């Protein structure tokens, strides 16, 4: 941390402290495990479980898009991790191929909780959820309500899961041919329909992605 600017250092430390406090509470096979921290002089080290298989994005970059049978197995595990987070009142806010890591055994781990926040829900149904209104995440995987800052909760993660499945299936997230800013405007537009999976994939896979990338009236 920058020791020359105390205010900046304190803000940086506070942000890291919030992430660590959140990580301490998460224990699930599909969530990367927090091991501990060490503060020495101005260096804060965060120790995490080692996930040697690399990210889904790095695997796609090396070997190309995944087959449907493979990305279905990964998607199931991603959803189990997301379901665990949501049941504990946590929204990840940055689900994408780069933040999904793979163990040699084939177990998937969600990583990078720098954008994650805990919501104080009045009910687990999410109908009385505390809504977050700041832009976090990566444009191609962002839900419309995130871009529009209209307030969002668990559903924004589901949108990002759909984008990640699209990425695993085709090698790139939806709208990757667009400039990042143009993609944000498109996603944020109420009439902007998201692309579908190509016809070579099963109807079930296409329907799943379509369901994830559907705008609902309460967005």
For residues 75 and 28, membership in a common domain is answered with: no
Identify the band that residue 2 occupies on the pLDDT scale cut at 50, 70 and 90. Answer: confident
For residues 133 and 152, membership in a common domain is answered with: yes
For residues 172 and 71, membership in a common domain is answered with: yes
For residues 41 and 133, membership in a common domain is answered with: no
**CA distances, 16 to each of 3, 27, 43, 185 (Å):** 15, 19, 12, 31
For residues 38 and 136, membership in a common domain is answered with: no
Q: Is residue 121 assigned to a domain?
A: yes
Q: Say yes or no to pLDDT of 132 above 60.
A: no
At 96-131, the pLDDT tens digits run 999 999 999 999 999 987 766 665 443 344 443 444
At 73-105, the pLDDT tens digits run 999 999 999 999 999 888 888 899 999 999 999
Inter-residue contact 152 to 143 (CB < 8 Å):
yes
Phi and psi, residue 157, nearest 5°: -70, -35
Return the CATH number at 77: 1.10.510.10
Q: Say yes or no to pLDDT of 135 above 60.
A: no
Q: Is residue 218 assigned to a domain?
A: no
For residues 195 and 133, membership in a common domain is answered with: yes
User: What percent of the chain has a predicted confidence (pLDDT) above 70?
Assistant: 84
Closest CA to 119 of 134, 130, 106: 130
How many domains does one find in the chain? Answer: 2
Domain with 119 in it: 56-212
Annotated catalytic residue within 5, 94, 112, 207: 94
Rounded CA gap, 31 and 163, in Å? Answer: 19
For residues 147 and 203, membership in a common domain is answered with: yes
At 29-82, the pLDDT tens digits run 999 998 988 888 878 888 889 999 999 999 999 999 999 999 999 999 999 999
Q: Is residue 178 assigned to a domain?
A: yes
Closest CA to 93 of 101, 103, 84, 85: 85
Q: Say yes or no to pLDDT of 9 above 60.
A: yes
Q: Is residue 67 assigned to a domain?
A: yes
Return the CATH number at 10: 3.30.200.20
Q: Which residue has the higher pLDDT, 60 or 12?
A: 60
**CA distances, 188 to each of 10, 20, 92, 107, 194 (Å):** 34, 32, 20, 34, 11
For residues 44 and 60, membership in a common domain is answered with: no
Average pLDDT, the chain: 84
CA 20 to chain centre: 17
For residues 26 and 69, membership in a common domain is answered with: no
pLDDT the model gives residue 77: 98
User: Can 94 be counted among the known catalytic residues?
Assistant: yes
């Amino acid at each position: 941390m920058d020791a020359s600017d105390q205010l900046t250092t304190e803000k940086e430390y506070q942000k890291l402290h919030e992430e660590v406090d959140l990580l301490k509470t998460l224990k699930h096979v599909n969530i990367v495990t927090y091991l501990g921290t060490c503060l020495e002089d101005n260096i804060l080290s965060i120790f995490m479980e080692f996930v040697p298989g690399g990210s889904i994005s790095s695997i796609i970059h090396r070997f190309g898009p995944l087959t449907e049978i493979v990305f279905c197995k990964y998607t199931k595990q991603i959803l189990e991790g997301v379901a665990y987070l949501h049941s504990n009142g946590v929204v990840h806010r940055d689900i994408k191929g780069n933040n999904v890591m793979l163990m040699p055994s084939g177990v998937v781990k969600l990583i990078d909780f720098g954008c994650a926040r805990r919501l104080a829900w009045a009910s687990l149904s999410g109908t009385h959820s505390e809504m977050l209104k700041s832009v976090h995440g990566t444009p191609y995987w962002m839900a419309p309500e995130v871009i529009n800052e209209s307030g969002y909760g668990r559903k924004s993660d589901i949108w990002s899961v759909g984008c990640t499945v699209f990425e695993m299936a085709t090698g790139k997230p939806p709208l990757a041919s667009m400039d990042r800013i143009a993609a944000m405007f498109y996603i944020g537009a109420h009439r902007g329909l998201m692309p579908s999976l190509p016809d070579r994939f099963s109807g079930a896979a296409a329907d799943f992605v379509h369901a994830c990338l559907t705008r609902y009236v309460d967005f």
